[in-house]
Structures are given as structure tokens and as C-alpha cells.
Amino acid sequence: MFSPSRVHVALVGIFSPLACALAAQAPAVAPQQPPAGLSRPTPHENAPLGDIRRMPGDGQGAFKTHQYRDLFAEQGHTPAESKAKIEKAFQQLFHGDGQEERVYFETGANENGPLAYITDWANNDARTEGMSYGMMIAVQLNKKREFDALWNWANTYMLVTDPKNPSVGYFAWSMATDGSARSTGAAPDGEEYFTMALYFAAHRWGNGQGIYNYKAQADKILSGMRHHPVITEMSPFRIHPDDPPFVYPDHPWPSPNNTIREREAAAKGNTAPASTFRFSREPRPETIGPMVDEAHFMIRFVPNVEGGNTDASYHLPAFYELWSRWGPVEDRAFWAKAADVSRDLFTKVTGPETGLTPERSNFDATPIVGRDGTPTPFAADSWRSVSNWSVDYDWWRKDERETVLSDRIQKFLYSQGIDRFVNRYTLEGKPLSTTHSPGMLSTTAVGSFAATPGPTSKAFVEELWNTPIPSGEQRYYDGMLYLMSMMHCSGNFRIIE
């Protein structure tokens, strides 16, 4: 399906946080006056963190009991049927028709073995988000070849190794599928899933050599997320020392989504895509630091030091609990508290009647207000938040407030029509698009782990069961969320110890 939030990623950074990451990493020109009627937001000073209710111990979820709910089986679908659906989805998305079905593409080999990427087909790039999702799917389903090929491609092309790039040690969040740069900085959600997938791989397959020493690689990424030095350098930057400097083009990159926007603009008699592609090509200093805000125990939206805010959909307390047990010893207390902070953040940033989370918020949970005076809405990144807190409830069951949140969002979306709720809203529930997206439906079904059992939570699970595997131009984000949600809801997305 067509997803407006994802269309803008490769263009102007209006709606998707990853696009905003790109904008944050782009060189900037001298400040310009905002358009008439709009005012530049006042810089925000975050309030201190304050008291956070701590939730020590192992909780009462699957980590302790080793029992994983199968939501499909609870509604009469057999485990064999679920596994068949999951395998079919995996084969289609990883090995199906190259034009309409798959997002996984192998591209030869190097000294470390096969290379492969996951592509956002509609935006014609490869992202750390999708690469790390692909690795997580592969390790959960015991697909070692695909896992290693994706990890090899990420290390070969995405890992920043140029010491003059302040993001050195991180992974560039967006690359062309030929391995050339589309960005030179990072988005932390990719590093988070890389880390968790690598720890699981170490436990499932054991550690190999070099980049396939999975635990050493996970430890390295996780340590860097917290301890990356603060570095200032002058753009343009390279990913590797021998690369040419990366300078943003003065036009949108070719992609199906950009073609759609060009057609829409032409129908309105304007040239919006070209005129709104405003990444400056002038050199500028850029300062990059850790991916966490130390004072607030939170993941950052981007590791750029200037400004700073967070994205609720980046918060993964279920993972943080494991990092507080498996990660570098010196960081374990940090991640234990970060898990509790994330649980608290979810309760503060969600719409009180809708359960919807904004794509970004300040570290003190106050809303980020745009130049037009409106708060950041619920959009594509936000779809993941309900899954994040619900998997936390399933694995750890420490915070009953997560039941309230799942009940709230499912009740609201059910009232909008379970087969037609749209994929962008204000937090108060005003629709901002006309598109119903299977990826959003999928993550909302995962919300049933935390939701109160009843007709509404069951309806979302059944709707996911009956949803076709995403295909066509918009299959990347919808497809990755669909497959992981199918794995979750069938009890096949587990802590691999």
C-alpha cells in the first residue's frame, strides 16, 4: 500500500524521523527567515529527569517463565499453520519475485562471504533500520546465510571508518543499493536492532571470527552508543577514507515515491519535489556524540549534539533489560534504568484518549512543536511504539500501565474501523491521511500481548492473521513489520539465550 509518511523520507524530511535524521546530518546554510505566518520554535530546555519508579528483578513474563503466548493459537489457529504462514512470508519477502515481492537482494561476495541488502523499494535505498530488521528476522528463524550476508553488507558499506567523519564507528543510516552514500550519519534505531540481533546470533550459532564474532560486535556497538566521543569536523564527509566526499544532490533521488510526488505536483501545476529538496551543499561544522542522552537515560533521535530529542518508537525496554544482563559490565546499570525510563516515557507522551505516540518528543516528554505551531503527530515511525511496549510486557511483565496503553490505542483504532483506520493522526485522533497500512495494523495486533483479553484485542489478532503478505512498491516497511508481528503473535519471536 502507498504510505504518505514514507514518501517524504527521500525528499524533504517532513514526516519521517529518518528523513529528519538526514536533514539533521545535512550541511546547513545561514539561517533564513521562516515563511510568512510561521515562526521559528524557541529552543527547548529539558526539565531534569525526576523520580522514576524502578522495577528490578526478572518480572513475570517470558524471560522468567520461558513460556511465550501464541495469540493465534488462542484463537484456534494451530502452531503448524502459523509456522507455514511465517515461512511463506519469509520466502516471499526474502526470495520472491524481485520486482513485486522481495526486499532482500544478494550482491556477490567478498573475503567475508556473501553480501546482501534489504531495500526500501519505494525509496530506492538500503537503511540500517531494514538491514537490522532483516538480521533479527533471520536469527529468529535460524536463517544464518541471510543473517551473515546482511551483516557483511552493513560492515562493508554502511560502517563509517573515516576518522575525519564525526560519526566514525556508527553506521550510515541510508545507502544506495550499489553501496554508495545517501547519508554519512546514523539513526540509533538501526544500531539498537543490530545489537540485539547480534547477541541472539551469538547464543544461537556461537561466535566466529572477525565480523562474525557476534558477541564482540554487539558489545562494540552497544559501548559506542553510550561512549562515542564528542567529535566536531567540517563537512563534507566520507564513509570510508578512500571514498569521494558525499555532497547532497540538488534534486530528489530517483525512486517510485519521488515519481509519485512529481506526478502529484504536476497535477497541481507546480514542481514541489525539486523546490522542496533543500539540503544545503555548503560546508559546515557538525558535532556528533553518543546515541543516548546520559542525563535522561534515553535513546536520542540522532546523535548530533546540537539540540536533541527522542522518538518513542526507538525505545525498546525489552531489549534494554537484556543488555543490562548481557552487555558490557560498565553499562549494565545504565540500561536497567533506561528500561524503566522508557516505560515511563510511553505513559507520558501518548495521547490520553488515543494511545498514539508522537514521532518525536523532548527528553522531558513535552511535545515538540513545529514552525506552524502544531505538535509532532503520530506517523510511520510511531507505528512501532505499541509493539515495543507490548513485547516488553510479554517478555518482562513489569509495568501494568502497558495494559492501559494497549487498551487505549486498540479501542481508538477499532473505533476508526479496523480495516480502514489511517496511518497518520494528531495525538487527539484527527486523521492526517487517507491510507490504511498493513504495517500499522500488524504492530497494533502485537499490542494484544499487553491488552485486556476481549473482543477488541482478539479482533486485531484475527485481522493480522487474515492480512495478505505485503507486496508491491510499499512492501518494505509494511512487510518487515508484518513478518516480525506474525512472529511475535505466534510466539516465535523469542529471547534466544
The residue whose grid cell reads 522514576 is: 52
Q: What's the N-to-C CA distance of the chain in angstroms? A: 37
Question: E strands of 111-191, at which residues?
Answer: 113-120, 125-127, 174-175
The residue whose grid cell reads 500500500 is: 1
Dihedral sign of CA atoms 286, 298, 239, 475 in order: negative
CB 422 within 8 A of CB 432: yes
Dihedral sign of CA atoms 363, 365, 366, 371 in order: positive
User: Which positions are annotated as active-site residues?
Assistant: 129, 381
> Which residue, 286, 320, 170, is CA-closest to 239?
170
CB 195 within 8 A of CB 323: yes
What is the CB neighbour count within 10 angstroms for residue 231? 17
Q: Is 413 helix (H, G, I), strand (E, B) or coil?
A: helix
**How deeply is 37 buried, as exposed, middle or buried, from its count of CB atoms within 10 A (0-12, 13-18, 19+)?**
exposed
Distances (CA, A) of 213 to 117, 143, 207: 20, 17, 5
Distances (CA, A) of 309 to 97, 188, 293, 358, 366: 40, 12, 9, 12, 10
Give the Cα separation of 490 and 312 in Å (integer). Answer: 25
Q: Is 225 helix (H, G, I), strand (E, B) or coil?
A: helix
Give the Cα separation of 486 and 497 in Å (integer). Answer: 21
Give the Cα separation of 280 and 114 in Å (integer). Answer: 37
Question: What is the bridge-based pairing of β-strands 292-293 and 285-288?
Answer: unpaired
Give the contacts of 175 (CB within 8 A, at least 6 positions apart).
117, 125, 126, 127, 157, 158, 181, 182, 183
